[in-house]
Copies of this chain bind each other. A is one copy, B any other.
Amino acid sequence: MATNCTNCPLRGLDLFVPLTEDEVAFMKRFKTGELTVQKGTQILMEGSNSPQLFTVLRGMGLRYKMLEEGRRQVVNFAFPGDFIGLQAGIMGEMKHSFEASTKMTLCVFARSDIWNVFKNQPQRAFDMTWSSAAEEHFLGDALASIGQRTAIERIAWAMVRIFRRAEALNMTQGQSMPMPYRQQDLADALGLSLVHTNKTLAKLRDRQLASWSDGTLRLMNVEKLAQLAQVDLEQEERRPLM
């Protein structure tokens, strides 16, 4: 059976700010359906004017931009709870593409209802803006990583970031978590070549800091990784779920 907001499996997580009953009722109406796609499916296309917004319910994906000559920049990895497509919803056109890296289920909303949210549900509108501000914050951090850090620091940074997101979603088991991406995806996210990414991953394995194979990421020493990457391990703030 499709999830109906009331029984949303994400809502209960500590990561998310609880919704009032009113808000849940509103979300039920706002939600127009559910979309399940196979791994590899393109869900949003750069430049497209999608009539839909999504919240990731299950599965993982990635946002990316294509440049000429096949160069690609992965902008972010997507986890359950991520709100996708707000750019198109607000600005009229997607500025990056979105693709499923696993089988995914997404809650679907209509872009045409956004104005209604701003008009009648200011709290939910505020929460949407929060999402956008949070993404802006993340991109600033990513820019700093790619602009200023070495290859090993960048990879350590990405691993810590990814792992902590997974933790907050109860997707980890001890030191491990599912990592359904390809090395090429990570390389494209960090502005590194595939070859160098592979060799740097080997270094982290040799140093007993992290290993990633067969779709499983394992962080053997988060503290050292965090230190290497210069990220602080402070508790992540609660965030709204759309």
A residues bordering B, Cβ < 8 Å? 65, 67-68, 71-73, 75, 86-87, 90-92, 95-96, 115, 118-119, 122-123, 125-126, 128-130, 132-137, 139-144, 146-149, 188-191, 230, 237
Does the CB pair B91–A147 fall under 8 Å?
no
Contacts of A95 in B (CB 8 A): 136-137, 140-141
Residue of B nearest to A140 (CB): B75
For the complex, give the distance between the alpha carbons of A44 and B141 in Å.
17
Contact B230 A67 (CB under 8 A): yes
Give A139 to B135 CA distance when docked, in angstroms: 10
A68 touching B129 by the CB < 8 A rule?
A: no
Most buried by B among A73, A87, A190: A73
CB <8 Å contact, B133 and A86: yes
**Closest partner residue, chain B, to A118 (CB atom):** B122
Dominant SS among interface residues on chain A: helix
The one of B75, B132, B148, B190 that contacts A73, using a Cβ cutoff of 8 Å: B148
Q: Report the Cα distance A189→B133, complex, angstroms.
A: 20
Most chain B CB atoms below 10 A, which of A73, A95, A119, A143: A143
Listed by A's residue number, 23 A-B pairs whose Cβ atoms lie within 8 Å are: A65-B141, A67-B149, A67-B230, A71-B148, A73-B144, A86-B129, A87-B133, A95-B136, A95-B140, A95-B141, A96-B140, A115-B122, A118-B129, A119-B122, A122-B122, A125-B125, A129-B129, A135-B136, A136-B139, A139-B139, A146-B191, A147-B189, A147-B190
Given contacts A91-B137, A118-B123, A125-B125, 18 further A-B pairs with CB under 8 A are A65-B144, A68-B230, A73-B144, A86-B129, A91-B133, A92-B237, A95-B137, A96-B140, A118-B118, A118-B122, A125-B126, A129-B132, A132-B136, A139-B139, A146-B147, A147-B188, A147-B189, A148-B191
